[in-house]
Chains A and B, each alone.
Chain A
């Protein structure tokens, strides 16, 4: 029984007559002839063992929707997960812009036909520069951890030193990326040391930092706010210590905190880096991350960025803005293995979105937002700390996250979180594996999207859960 060949809507030339005409035009009897260069012993024999295709659009949509229904999501559940991927409000205009087909489907076109893309990238860098009070940013990196890792490689090249210090409280998700990236081989290996944190405050242990810091240290990383939520209150003191040893201070910052927190440059950071996910991206199961690095306008630093940079200039028409690539030879696109690390396709659309976000929020928006987040987070922490057997660790100022200990309840975080799911609540990130010294603790994240009612609902649920015999 012969069957009609399928015409695929996404493959216009799958129409047999057209295919025939094209083959005739190029003097081939069949498409098989086009593969004459691939010898028989390298050919795949037979048919790929893939499922029967779902050819029509209606059915594929239904199929995938059914799969996605198996997930529980943070729109229907009340979620307190953050840990580098916090749930903030995404302005509708952000979605409107990054769903535009022109941006969504553009790629590496030059600055004429793609002028708008280049300008949007320039504006991303400009607005981040305003927020960070620094002049220089490149195109975005993959994520925050990559931004720390590359900052450290840059610092090592600038100082000619190979030892770096990071806080051990930084979180395994980030440290694992950094360790891998700095491992290198032979001469390119950087030595990673961790600075202990003070279990009473959650802050960097200054004495331990002092003991580890030397004139061989290329860079010291501090987080502000930290992975465990706390504000690094002695940042200025740390900065002075680092500078006294001729090392670079790298500050990993949450950009959404910078409406109320001082930009790292103001207390001596030579690198400000982080993840701009909070600035207009959805959770997307971790797919909305994007890394940034900012420095001052100093060629020793500018020349060490690894990713493309789009510079503003003028075209041949007086007063008309144009864009061009800056110091292209730095990059591995320009110089292959002699470039600064490697570059590639990263997170361009999210960078554009972060620009849109900052343009919408403006100075007042960022200020108010930072304040509201802090108020709500403090309210939540206070209420949670009032639950019998439950404690909030560290009497230290924090931004949007804080550590909750369930040690006094006799229950594990895993048990608590399992029970909270029945209340349609997703509890904070279980820290017991990552920081055993903190016991049965979880990292709770509260943002502007939470209401008093949400927090009260959490408190009631936790009370019920831990109160059950």
Chain B
């Protein structure tokens, strides 16, 4: 029993419950929960309550929801949870760019406190002084960490944070009556939202390709900049883990044409206390609070994209703003130049609470330790992976990377026919989360992106490397084994062609049943 001491591999098999879809479990008459009854006096007073709904707006036929007893509902979802590889269960260095760090369990207890769980965002400020203090103090922390002057925590995720920043860029130029600025420039190795969020705010997007060494191309940027440029939205370090040492020159060039500069700090985990948006000259930035400052990623949210701005841009931040007059915390709505709201109320308070606690648990020295250990882990992993047959380390040869690396299995593919998707599926057979490959386009061929943040020990990383080494070995010896993976996971390979065909699209059970009756859902493998 236990991990093989020589190979560091485990004889793993994931939970496989062969579980039906909940809609198949219905037993007419069963109940999952009973609802509170109405008192007799109330019934006597108002009657059945629903007759007042006009005909045509009253539900005639009960919803076709399944009828399932509570024990079975619970068991069903517990089984589905066991068929999910949460970061707590494994060494999740896999999801590069996502910073899958440990989220302390004590924070979950705090989020369950009635002082957070049961408070309403529209309560009188006097009754929300605790949470407003948390917001205010976290803003102070992030101002120090970024060097910028004001923050809002309203956006419900990183991409929405970038969107809020794009709206503020728009508002800034509008306020100056500078109406011809219709373009945003970004780089290919910046997250897709650095292109898509400004596009949603109405901008034409110019995307710069990296230079031959993988760096953002300063000359290309200068050529793209003009009096039409509203702003640049750029990540640093980029999704390759390469730090752009000339970032301030990009900023200077953009400022020279009157554009604003927004710093995507989703990849900030390796630079906390080392380098900041302010020193590089940025006007705006955003942090993915749930990534860098620890909040469970919750199957893709809830989360927070904190947006920070310098100086005068503060007047455009979303409302409400949390202010403090020395005795009382307030929610300030009366800000005429604000972009308004990008999300209702004032953001995800639970993410904010966790981040506040997490930063306070670390302090300045601890944040630096976070950064240094994440970079150390990454360079250690880089060294070990460079020794695995088939792995290619593209770009920035001989340079240190920061918190992550975009690797390539290009050589493995050429040697064996096994590509990155095959390896990705095979990882599940060893108890690891599938790694993140890359957003398209894949200019790094057969890509995979790993981010072994500070939460993982040397031993964790050694086991992780052992699995990738084993899969490489298998690819050279028995490529079909890898290509047909997974074998020990919850389900087997899904042949992808055809899932987009209109007669096969089935995103709900209703739709699936209808198309199954028409016999069109079966995949053509």
Contacts and interface: CB of A to CB of B under 8 A. Distances in A.
A63 B63 CA distance: 47
A123 B81 CA distance: 13
A106 B84 contact: yes
Contact of B201 (A113, A120, A184): A184
Given A42-B247, A105-B88, A261-B53, A142 B343 contact: yes
Contacts of B50: 260, 370-371, 374
Contacts of A50: 141, 144-145, 359, 363-364, 367
A385 interface: no
A338 to B, nearest CB: 8
Given A112-B434, A186-B182, A315-B493, A107 B508 contact: no
Given A43-B275, A81-B123, A313-B499, A35 B35 contact: no
B36 to A, nearest CB: 5
Nearest to A302: B505
Interface in B500-515: 500, 502, 504-512, 514
A442 B288 CA distance: 37
A138 B458 contact: no
Interface string B337-354: 001111111111111010
Interface stretch (A159-167, A205-213, A319-327, A401-409): A319-327
Chain B interface category by residue count: 35 or more
B157 A344 contact: yes
Interface stretch (A194-202, A359-367, A457-465): A359-367
B80 A336 contact: no
Contacts of A25: 380, 383
Contacts of A327: 500, 505
Contacts of A376: 38, 42
Contacts of A89: 35-36
Interface string A103-118: 1111111111111110
A71 B274 contact: no
A180 interface: yes
A126 B509 contact: yes
9 contacts: A10-B101, A13-B454, A23-B376, A51-B363, A70-B130, A104-B298, A107-B299, A145-B341, A374-B49
Contact of A347 (B156, B167, B243, B484): B156
B123 A36 contact: no
In this complex, which of A31, A53, A315, A336 has the most chain B Cβ atoms within 10 angstroms of its Cβ? A336
B392 interface: no
Contacts of B345: 84-85, 173, 285-286, 289
A90 B430 CA distance: 37
Interface in A379-427: 379, 382, 397, 417-418, 421, 426
A224 interface: yes
B424 interface: yes
- The winner among A21, A108, A350 for most chain B CB atoms within 10 A is A108
Contacts of B79: 116
Interface string B309-328: 00000000001000000000
B115 A73 contact: yes
A299 B106 contact: no
B37 interface: yes
Contact of A397 (B52, B120, B362): B52
A4 interface: no
Interface in B350-392: 350-351, 353, 356-357, 359-370, 372-373, 375-377, 379-380, 382-383
A451 B372 CA distance: 56
Nearest to B145: A48
B185 to A, nearest CB: 12
A75 B113 CA distance: 11
A451 B343 CA distance: 32
Given A42-B279, A376-B38, A60 B357 contact: yes
Contact of B491 (A10, A112, A378): A112
A176 B22 CA distance: 38
A115 to B, nearest CB: 4
A316 B492 contact: yes
Query: 9 tightest CB-CB pairs across the interface, nearest first?
Result: A185-B202, A344-B159, A68-B115, A53-B363, A286-B345, A116-B83, A332-B196, A70-B130, A360-B32
A287 B340 contact: no
Nearest to A68: B115
Interface residues of A, number: 216
A432 interface: no
A1 interface: no
A48 B113 contact: no
Contacts of A288: 302
Contact of A74 (B32, B60, B119, B362): B119
B74 interface: yes
B119 A283 contact: yes
B147 interface: yes
B472 to A, nearest CB: 19
Contacts of A183: 167, 170, 201-202
Interface string B289-304: 0100000111111110
A18 interface: yes
A102 B77 contact: no
A57 B358 CA distance: 10
B62 interface: yes
B118 A74 contact: yes
A39 interface: yes
B481 interface: no
B342 A177 contact: yes
A397 B78 contact: no
B274 A35 contact: yes
A467 to B, nearest CB: 22
A244 interface: no
A131 B59 CA distance: 10
B494 interface: yes
A310 B486 CA distance: 19
Given A102-B84, A143-B343, A258-B59, A313 B65 contact: no
B270 to A, nearest CB: 9
A309 to B, nearest CB: 5
Contact of A34 (B120, B302, B346, B372): B372
B23 A123 contact: yes
Interface stretch (B3-11, B406-414, B517-525): B517-525
A60 B363 contact: no
A375 B65 contact: no
Contacts of B121: 85, 283, 285-286
Contact of B31 (A60, A116, A285, A364): A364
B425 A359 contact: no
B77 A120 contact: yes
A102 B86 contact: yes
A26 to B, nearest CB: 5
Nearest to B15: A116
B462 to A, nearest CB: 11
B177 interface: no
Interface string A232-261: 110110000000000000000000001111
Given A105-B87, A342-B193, A37 B41 contact: no
A357 to B, nearest CB: 9
B110 interface: yes
A299 B502 contact: yes
